[in-house]
Structures are given as C-alpha cells and as structure tokens.
C-alpha cells in the first residue's frame, strides 16, 4: 500500500537494462519517474502500462533505438513532460511512432541528440505543447508539423546541419519566445520571421547569414540575439530598432564598422564583437551605461573613444590582439578603471609621443650577441674601434655604469638608434647559458623586436634545433606572434659558398619546423572536430573513445586554443642576414633593417602609443642620474610624481603602466612590495645575474672581497658556496655578502629577498614567526641549483614504499605533457610557488617530496628521453579509496598553482591527463591516461566505475578520475 502511494521515483544511473512489469504494477500512483542514464535498449512497455497517472517521464541517456508501436506511451494520457534525449532514436526505422501524438496534455518534449530524420505528421495534434527540443538530429528540412503547434513557446532546432531554410509559415508560431537555430546551415531568413512578436531569445550563430530581413526591427521584445560565426560584412541596421535588447553576440563575422547610433540600445548588458575587422569604435559606445560584458579582442582597434572609462559597470572585458596605441595595450589590459585613469590624465596634461621599442638579442652563448650589439651601437663605426670593443676597452654609446664583460649574463641599456626621429631601442641582451633560464623568460614580452643570433662559422645543419629551432619554440610559447629577425654573425669567417649554403639551410629548416608544428596543430583541430561531430553520449560510452567524457564546451575551448596557436605563429621577417663587424655595409644594413621594421605601423603600432605628458616626465624622473639607488619607497616615488604634476591619487595608474610596459617593477597587489618601486632595472638585473652564476671561483671572489676575512671565515664561506652549488641553500647573511655593493642595509636585503621570492627564484626554508634580530637566522633555497636526487620519492611515485612493497592504497597522479618545449626555468619557479602549500619538503633536481597536512605529495619532472617523447611534469598523492578526497585536497592547490604559472605562456601547447590508478598500481610503464579536461567537469550522474582500456577486466573507481569538486577552469585551456 505504501509503494502504491509513492509519487516520485528516481532510478537514474542504476545500470538498468529493463524495468520489470512488477515494478510498474506496485507503483501505480507514481507521478514522476526518472530512468535517465541507464542501459535501456527498448521501452519498458509492460511496466509503463500500469503508470496511468504519470505526469513526468525521463528516459534520456539510454540506448533506445525505437519506441515500438507507441501504445505504451500513448496510454500515459496525463503525461505533461517527456524526455527522450541522448538516445539512438531514428537509427533504425522512423524513430517516433504516430501514436506519440495521442499525448494530448504534453507540454514539454525533449528529443535532442538522437538520429531523427523526420517527425510524425500527427505531432501537430499536441495542442498544449509549449517546449520542443529537437537539437542535434538529422532533420533534412524544417518539419512541417511544427508550424501547427500554436501553443509553442520554446523551440530548439540547433545542430540539424542540413535544415537549410525556414518556411514562410514560421509566422504561425506567434507565441514563440525562444527560438534556437544554431548551426542549421541557414543562408537567409524569411521576412515572416519578423512577425514573431513575442520572441525574446533568438540563436542564429554558426550559419551563413549575410544580412537580416528588412522588418527584423519588429521583434520589439527581443532580449538576446546571437549572430556569431556568420558572414555579416555590415552591422545590421535593423538591430538598432530593438529597444529591449540586453545581449548581442556578433563574434567571428566580417564587420569593419559599428554604427554611431549603437547607443540606442540602452538596455544592452552584453556585447561580443571579437574576431571581426573593426578599426574604430563609435564615440557613442560610451553611452551604453548598462554594459557589463564587452568583448573586442581580435580586431584592428588602435584608439578607444574619449570617455571610455564611463563604462564602469563592465566586469567582463577582453581587448587583446588589437593594435592599441591610445590608451596603450598595457593600460587596456588592466581594465576599465585604468583606461578611465589614463583618459583623465590625458585630459589633465598634453599627450606625448616618445618612440621607444624593446629590442631583445637572443641566441647561444657563442653566437656573437655582445659584439653585434656593440657594433650596432658604436657611433663612429671605425674598424679599429671594433677591435678595441672585442678587447672590452670601450663602452657602447648610451650605456652608463660599470664595464661589463662579454657573456656576463643579462644586460639592458638604451640605444638612440635615430636621434633625428627620437627613436630609442631598449636593448636586452639575454645570456646564452641555460643557468639563466629561470629569469630570462621574464624579459620576453609582447610588442618587442627579437633578434635571433646564429654563429655562422660554427653552425652545422645537424645542430639546427639547438642553435635556432629551440629559441623559436621558446619565444613562440612565451610571446605568440613574436616578430623575429634572423642574423648570422661571423660571416667574415665563412667562404662565400659556405655562407650561402648555411643561410639557406637555416631558412629551409625554419620553414620545415614551422610546417611540422602547424600540421601537428591542424591534426589536433581535426581530432577535436571529429569528437565534436560525435554524440556526447558516444564519447562517454567507452574509455577507448578520443576525448573520453570531455564536454562539448571544453572541446570547443580546446579547439579555440589550437586555432589561436595556429593563427599566432612567429613572424620571421626575412632570410638570415649575414653580419660581420668587419663589414661596415653589413652593420649599416642591419641597423637600417631594424629601424624600418620598428617604424612599420602594422608590425609595431605600440611604437606610436600616446602617453600623458605627466607619465612620460615621471618615467624620466625615475631614471635621472641622482635616482640611482636600488629602489624608491612609495613616498619617494610620490614626490617625483608631484614634480611631474601627478597627485598621489593619480600616481598608481602611472606606475601600473610603467610596470606593465617593463620600465620598472611595481607590484601593486603584493602586501609588502607595493610600498616600493624598483626603478633601477640594470642594477636589479645585476642582482638576478648573481643568482644564475654557477662558477664557484666567481662566487668566492665576491664573498672574499673584504680584506679583513680570516682563514677560518674563508673556509666557512667556501663551504657555503659548495652547499649553494649542490643544494641551492644559502643563509641570508651570505646572500648579503654576495650582493655587495648593491645591498647597503638589512632593509635592502629583506626587500630583495621578498622580490626574489615573488619572482620565483627562492623561498625561505625556515621563515621565523617574527622577524629575526639579524639576517643570519633565515636560510633560503634556490631550486634551480639543486643537483641531488631524491630516490625515495622516485620509488614512491612508481607505486612502491621504501622497502619495495606495493602500496595497498590508491594513487592519484596528474600529468602535464609538453610535446614542443618545456618552459625553461618552469620547474624551479613552480618549486618556489608551491612552498606555501606544503610542509616537510625534500627537494631533488627533478623532484619534490612533501606533505600537505598529513597527506604525501610528489612533484616530478621528467625530461624527454628522445625526440618523439615529451617532457612531463606530474603531481601525485595517495590515500585509501574511502579517503581519496584527502589526496584530491592535497594535489588540487598544486595543480591550480601550475595552471596559474602556465598562463604566462599563452603560445605553449601542452596536454593534461589523469593517470589510471590501476595501471600505476600494476607498475605499468605506460599507464592509461584520462583527459585532463575531466578535472573541470562534475562527476557524471550515476557513474561509479570506468573500465581501463589497457586491461578491460579492471574497473577504476570514478573518484580516482574526477575530483570531488571540479577545478575552476580546464587545465588545458588558457
């Protein structure tokens, strides 16, 4: 009796292959029944015949290929809601029986994600039907019966790729509020569509529309319109007549102009215009005061209208990939408040143009970068001066400070390349030594001109990748679309034929590498397209499937990332330019080449950026000779700001711009460092260079420079240096000695150590709870120096304890693979970033063994063992199955920290996988991998186990693949 009174029953995800008649007979009072996510291959007709009172029935996500004669369903006369989505209806026969039309009270019908090619004629008899979803079927045209469903308010026909056109009779659906027609192959819309006066939401994205009907403005109640991914060459004027419009999506069209009357859309909250060809924004856009989302990336916008800062409600703002000069890119990327501050400042003071461009020299250690730089910067260019430069006896023009030795590390200086036009290069010469990897990537940034230098006399084709290919991968992953000029030095040491052959070989191998990379990415795009063409259920049905379980949303995100990488390949400007300091013609030719490239507005619009005069004066005041101390306090900087005409409340935005554009360092969100401005970059780089020095003799010379050091003290310092070069450990007082004469006080030292920690160079291993009385108490670890291995971590990660016995607990392991390049210095920086999350850590050269609370974690980097194998970085933990949530809790913050670091490499291709715990337990050398995108997806409802494809008899608990709570963003996307 009690069962007969039950009104709702949820049997989702129970693996049911049938529903016995006895169940229906016992539950005759049931009103709501959910059988979703089971394995039903046919309709449970016998059971349904007893459920005459049923109002809601969910049969979605099963394996139904037909509904029989429909009699069982037709008997459910009171049914108001029926879901048959994500089945295989239509795979055999018509799919839907005519008797479905007997459900006279039906209000909602979901037939999405099936294989239906037609709908039954009698469907028109469903006079009460309010919502119909036939999304992602195989309908060849718009089904005529739908035009008679006069009560219909919601209709989704998206994903029926061959629908092709809408009938004129669509006007009959006068109650329609929601109409979704995404990806239906529409080339035009009928005028009758404009008679749907109740319409509030219209999805037309992914079609071939070039225009809208003339009467489109009649849709006065329309609130959301999506026209993305069409062929619109002009902004449809009819849209301006839609006063209720709140959301407008016009991404990925061919728009060049926006109408001045855009401000008529006063209710607009969302406006997406990305990936068009828009050059200007109308001044009236600033009057869209309700705007909350504004997406403009991937256009050709150089100047934002005055008063743009009035759009203060905008929270989602995307503007990258535009040639911005006013405000500069660095200001725009910070957001609307910074744009407002810039425009207010421009109104206070006159605009100023100061052409300055970052020029970065990179290449191997013996490439000849230093000599090339000095030759270019020499004023008189006489051959005998070049000789003296090689001997290191003169300084390059524009370089102020102590004489630097060739190959001393990273150097930075100004070069006024064209005094007449006031064009200045800020020249960064990067070290060719891998010891500097941990800091060099900081100096690779957008909007710079890169010169890749190759020593032609030493170049051999077999070493192309080390000399050229590696640097292009490194640069491309950090700065997508980087502008690169190839220069071959020591040309005078090569015979004419040899010179020509080597230059041609480099040019040819660059083209081959680019082709391989592009083809690899195209192949990945194709794989994603194939997966998107499949049913989501099909992708979830077998772990053998490509992109097993990955949602359409994550796949589209993945495809967008691949397309971005394909569209932002390095811009290699010309074949290799041979160069010799002995040939003044070649020196002048290279100088002219650099100047012509720098002044090309399409390549470097940022050279012509407009700044408020006060910002320019502030920059100059920070770099005047009397401001040569290592850092300025905020108040020192504020005093300089007053001299530049900047009040304290206007100083922040100016310093933020100077930081973003690489002129100085100012960390406005760091609790300690925000009180200081690091304006002296050459001295700061000198400090960074000290911590990339691997020569014990040089380090000892620095420490023993004080003549009062006795023999015992000298021996002690010698031990410190040995420990530093082996384990990366140094006490604070020795760091202070190393940094003489840069460090004058304990405050200097503390500040520099905070800065080094912020940059990811070191961390304090025994940070005291209160400040130490002197600098001797604190020890600092520099992970890039660690040379020792940690064998017990290696054993742990392979699934064995110290005695070699296998664990009985379950293992979690997230693995990041880097097929093209592993970002130089990433492991060392990551090692510093995770320090606040772990305790009791033990570091090896490629491993970190630590605890999160009481849960062990291992971070392990494995360099590629061959050309076809990727570098990998994995994060692992373990726990018993009931407590596996603790292992997820341990590794999730570490995964998130790595994801944040990888955001700094927008051109990097990498993959993320969850390794099969069963394979790990077996000690398999090639464990099965589940897609990393699953980390950002909720666990599938009703799923408890997943079959491991490497061993079909083994099932992996779903808790070992999906985290308890999805991560905020897919780890594979940027």
Q: How many residues does the chain have?
A: 974
Q: How many CB atoms lie within 10 A of CB 740?
A: 12
**Confidence bin at 707 (pLDDT 50/70/90):** low
* Element containing residue 9 per DSSP (H, E): strand 8-10
d(C-alpha 876, C-alpha 235), whole Å: 52
In this predicted model, what pLDDT tens digit does every residue of 657-686 receive, in sequence order?
Answer: 888 888 888 888 888 888 999 888 888 888
Sequence-ordered list of residues with C-beta below 8 angstroms from that of 258, at least 6 positions apart, any chain: 235, 273, 278, 280, 281, 282, 285
Mean pLDDT of 561-587: 89
Give me the mean pLDDT over the 284-296 stretch.
94
Q: What is the pLDDT of residue 394?
A: 30
Question: Is 593:932 a contact under the CB 8 Å cutoff?
Answer: no
Confidence (pLDDT) at 831: 93
Tell how strand 483-489 and strand 448-455 pair up: parallel
Residue 770 has pLDDT above 60, yes or no: no
What is the residue-averaged pLDDT of the chain?
A: 86
State phi, psi for 101 to the nearest 5 degrees.
Answer: -70, -10
Q: How far, in Å, CA of 896 to CA of 899, rounded?
A: 5
In which residue are the tokens 């006080």 written? Answer: 745
Higher pLDDT, 411 or 866: 411
Does pLDDT of 769 surpass 60?
no
**DSSP annotation of 860:** E
Query: Which residues fall within 8 angstroms of residue 270, CB to CB, at 6 or more apart?
Result: 246, 247, 248, 249, 291, 292, 293
* pLDDT exceeds cutoff 70 at 689: yes
The C-alpha atoms of residue 221 and residue 240 are separated, in whole angstroms, by: 13
Return the structure tokens found at 383. Answer: 């051959």
Highest mean pLDDT out of 521-530, 532-541, 729-738, 761-770: 521-530
Which pLDDT does position 1 carry in this prediction?
47
Q: How do residues 382-416 score in pLDDT, each as one tens digit? A: 333 332 222 222 333 233 333 333 446 788 888 88
The pair phi, psi for residue 9, each rounded to 5°, is -140, 125
Contact 555, 934 (CB under 8 A): no
pLDDT at 215 over 60: yes
C-alpha 687/C-alpha 665 separation (Å) is: 14
- Most confident among 258-262, 355-359, 766-770 (mean pLDDT): 258-262
Task: Give residue 409's pLDDT.
Answer: 78
d(CA 19, CA 610): 72
Q: What is the pLDDT of residue 392?
A: 29
Query: What value does the mean pLDDT take over residues 195-202?
Result: 96
Report the relative pairing of strands 356-363 and 448-455 from DSSP bridges.
parallel
C-alpha distances (whole Å) from 241 to each of 222, 227, 238 are 10, 16, 6
Return the pLDDT at 253.
95
Cβ neighbours around 572 below 10 Å, total: 19
Nearest Cα neighbor of 494 from 505, 506, 503, 485 is: 503
- pTM for the whole structure: 0.83
Most confident of 249-263, 622-636, 857-871: 249-263
Rounded percentage of the chain residues whose pLDDT exceeds 70: 92
Question: Which residues, in sequence order, are CB contacts of 776 under 8 Å at separation 6+?
Answer: 731, 732, 733
Over 70: is that where the pLDDT of 834 sits? Answer: yes
Most confident by average pLDDT, 434-448, 556-570, 932-946 = 556-570
Pairing of strands 871-879, 810-818: antiparallel
Which run of H or E residues covers position 539? Answer: helix 536-541
Per-residue model confidence (pLDDT) at position 402 = 32
State the average pLDDT over residues 901-909: 93
Per-residue pLDDT averaged across 920-942, rounded?
Answer: 87
Instruction: Quick: pLDDT tens for 361-381.
Output: 999 988 999 999 998 888 434
- Find the Cα–Cα–Cα–Cα dihedral 859, 865, 869, 873, rounded to 10°: 10
Q: Which of 814, 809, 791 is nearest to 799 (CA)?
A: 809
| Amino acid 403: pLDDT | 34
CA distances from 276 to 228, 231, 270, 297, 563 (A): 10, 10, 17, 9, 15
pLDDT above 90 for 774: no
Do 272 and 230 touch, CB atoms closer than 8 A? Answer: no
Check pLDDT > 60 for residue 869: yes
Identify the band that residue 184 occupies on the pLDDT scale cut at 50, 70 and 90.
very high
Question: Residue 849's closest CA among 927, 887, 891, 793?
Answer: 793
Task: Give the model's confidence band at 602: pLDDT under 50 very low, under 70 low, under 90 confident, else very high.
Answer: confident
Structure tokens at 779: 């020890």
**Cis peptide upstream of residue 741 (ω within 30 degrees of 0):** yes
Q: Which pLDDT score, from 0 to 100, does residue 808 have? A: 64
- The pLDDT value given to residue 311: 93
Residue bearing the bigger pLDDT, 185 or 417: 185
What are the pLDDT digits (tens) for 509-550?
Answer: 999 999 999 999 999 999 999 888 777 777 777 777 788 888
Nearest to 292 by CA among 321, 270, 260: 270
In this predicted model, what pLDDT tens digit does every residue of 54-100 receive, in sequence order?
A: 999 999 989 898 888 888 898 899 999 999 998 989 888 778 899 99
Dist CA 119 CA 139 (whole Å): 8
**pLDDT tens digits for range 139-178:** 999 999 999 999 999 999 999 989 999 999 999 999 999 9
């Amino acid at each position: 009796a009690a069962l007969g009174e039950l009104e709702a029953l949820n049997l989702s995800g129970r693996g049911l292959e049938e529903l016995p008649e006895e169940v229906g007979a016992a539950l005759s009072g049931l009103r709501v029944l959910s059988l979703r996510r089971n394995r039903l291959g046919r309709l449970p007709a016998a059971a349904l015949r007893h459920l005459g009172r049923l109002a809601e029935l969910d049969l979605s996500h099963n394996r139904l290929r037909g509904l029989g004669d429909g009699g069982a369903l037709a008997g459910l006369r009171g049914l108001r809601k029926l879901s048959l989505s994500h089945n295989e209806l239509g795979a055999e026969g018509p799919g839907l029986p005519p008797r479905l039309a007997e459900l006279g009270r039906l209000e909602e019908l979901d037939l999405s994600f099936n294989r239906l090619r037609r709908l039954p004629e009698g469907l028109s008899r469903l006079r009460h039907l309010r919502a119909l979803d036939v999304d992602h079927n195989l309908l060849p045209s718009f089904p005529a019966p739908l035009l008679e469903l006069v009560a219909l308010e919601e209709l989704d026909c998206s994903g029926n790729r061959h629908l092709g056109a809408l009938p004129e009779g669509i006007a009959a659906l006068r109650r329609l509020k929601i109409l979704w027609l995404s990806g239906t192959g529409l080339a035009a819309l009928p005028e009758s569509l404009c008679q749907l006066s109740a319409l509030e939401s219209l999805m037309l994205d992914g079609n071939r529309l070039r225009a809208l009907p003339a009467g489109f403005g009649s849709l006065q109640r329309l609130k959301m319109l999506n026209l993305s991914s069409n062929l619109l060459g002009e902004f449809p004027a009819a849209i301006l007549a839609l006063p209720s419009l709140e959301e407008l999506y016009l991404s990925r069209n061919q728009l060049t102009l926006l109408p001045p009357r855009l401000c008529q859309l006063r209710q607009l909250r969302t406006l997406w215009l990305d990936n068009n060809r828009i050059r200007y924004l109308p001044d009236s856009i600033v009057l869209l005061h309700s705007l909350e989302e504004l997406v403009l990336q991937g256009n050709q916008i150089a100047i934002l209208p005055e008063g743009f800062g009035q759009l203060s409600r905008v929270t989602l703002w995307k503007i990258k990939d535009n040639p911005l000069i006013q405000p500069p890119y660095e200001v725009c990327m910070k957001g609307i408040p910074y744009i407002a501050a810039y425009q207010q400042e421009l109104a206070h003071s006159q605009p100023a143009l100061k052409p300055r461009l970052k020029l970065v020299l990179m290449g191997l250690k013996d490439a000849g970068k230093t000599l090339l730089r000095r030759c270019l910067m020499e004023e008189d260019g006489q051959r005998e001066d070049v000789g003296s430069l090689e001997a290191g006896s003169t300084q390059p023009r524009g370089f102020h400070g102590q004489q630097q030795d060739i190959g001393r590390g990273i150097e930075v200086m100004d070069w006024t390349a064209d005094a007449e036009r006031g064009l200045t290069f800020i020249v960064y010469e990067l070290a060719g030594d891998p010891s500097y990897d941990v800091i060099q990537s900081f100096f690779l940034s957008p909007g710079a001109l890169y010169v890749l230098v190759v020593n032609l006399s030493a170049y051999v084709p077999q070493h192309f990748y080390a000399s050229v290919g590696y640097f292009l991968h490194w640069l491309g992953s950090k700065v997508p679309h980087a502008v690169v000029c190839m220069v071959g030095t020591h040309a005078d040491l090569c015979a004419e034929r040899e010179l020509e052959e080597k230059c041609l070989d480099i040019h040819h191998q660059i083209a081959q590498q680019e082709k391989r990379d592009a083809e690899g990415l195209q192949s990945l795009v194709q794989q994603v397209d194939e997966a998107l063409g499949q049913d989501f259920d099909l992708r979830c049905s077998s772990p053998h499937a490509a992109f097993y379980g990955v949602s359409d949303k994550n796949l589209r995100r993945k495809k967008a990332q691949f397309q971005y990488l394909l569209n932002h390949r390095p811009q290699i400007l010309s074949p290799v330019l041979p160069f010799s300091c002995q040939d003044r013609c070649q020196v002048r030719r290279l100088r002219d080449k650099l100047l012509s490239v720098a002044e090309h507005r399409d390549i470097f619009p940022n050279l012509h950026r407009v700044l408020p005069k006060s910002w320019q004066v502030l920059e100059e005041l920070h770099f005047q000779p009397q401001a040569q101390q290592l850092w300025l306090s905020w108040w020192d900087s504020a005093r300089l700001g007053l001299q530049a005409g900047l009040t304290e409340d206007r100083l922040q935005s100016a310093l933020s711009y100077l930081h973003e554009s690489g002129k100085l360092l100012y960390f406005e969100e760091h609790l300690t460092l925000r009180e200081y401005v690091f304006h002296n970059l050459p001295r700061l780089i000198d400090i960074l260079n000290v911590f990339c020095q691997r020569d014990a003799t040089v380090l000892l010379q620095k420490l023993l420079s004080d003549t009062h050091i006795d023999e015992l003290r000298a021996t002690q310092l010698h031990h410190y240096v040995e420990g530093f070069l082996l384990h990366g450990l140094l006490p604070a007082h020795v760091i202070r000695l190393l940094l003489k004469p840069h460090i004058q006080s304990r405050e200097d030292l503390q500040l520099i150590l905070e800065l080094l920690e912020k940059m990811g160079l070191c961390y304090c291993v025994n940070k005291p709870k209160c400040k130490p009385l002197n600098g001797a108490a604190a020890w600092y670890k520099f992970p890039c120096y660690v040379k020792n291995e940690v064998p017990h971590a290696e054993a742990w990660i392979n699934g064995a304890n110290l005695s070699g016995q296998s664990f009985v607990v379950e293992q979690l392991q997230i693995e990041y693979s880097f097929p093209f390049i592993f970002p130089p210095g990433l492991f060392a920086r990551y090692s510093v970033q995770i320090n606040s999350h772990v305790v009791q850590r033990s570091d090896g050269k490629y491993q970190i063994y630590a605890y999160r609370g009481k849960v062990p974690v291992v971070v392990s980097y494995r360099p590629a063992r061959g050309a076809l194998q990727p570098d990998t970085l994995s994060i692992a933990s373990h726990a018993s199955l009931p407590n596996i949530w603790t292992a997820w809790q341990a590794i999730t913050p570490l995964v998130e920290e790595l994801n944040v670091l990888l955001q700094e490499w927008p051109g990097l291709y990498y993959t993320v996988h969850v390794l099969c715990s069963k394979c790990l337990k077996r000690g398999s050398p090639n464990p099965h991998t589940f897609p990393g995108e699953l980390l950002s997806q909720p666990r599938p409802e009703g799923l408890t186990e997943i079959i491991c494809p490497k061993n079909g008899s083994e099932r992996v608990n779903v808790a070992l693949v999906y985290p308890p709570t999805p991560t905020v963003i897919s780890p594979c996307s940027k």
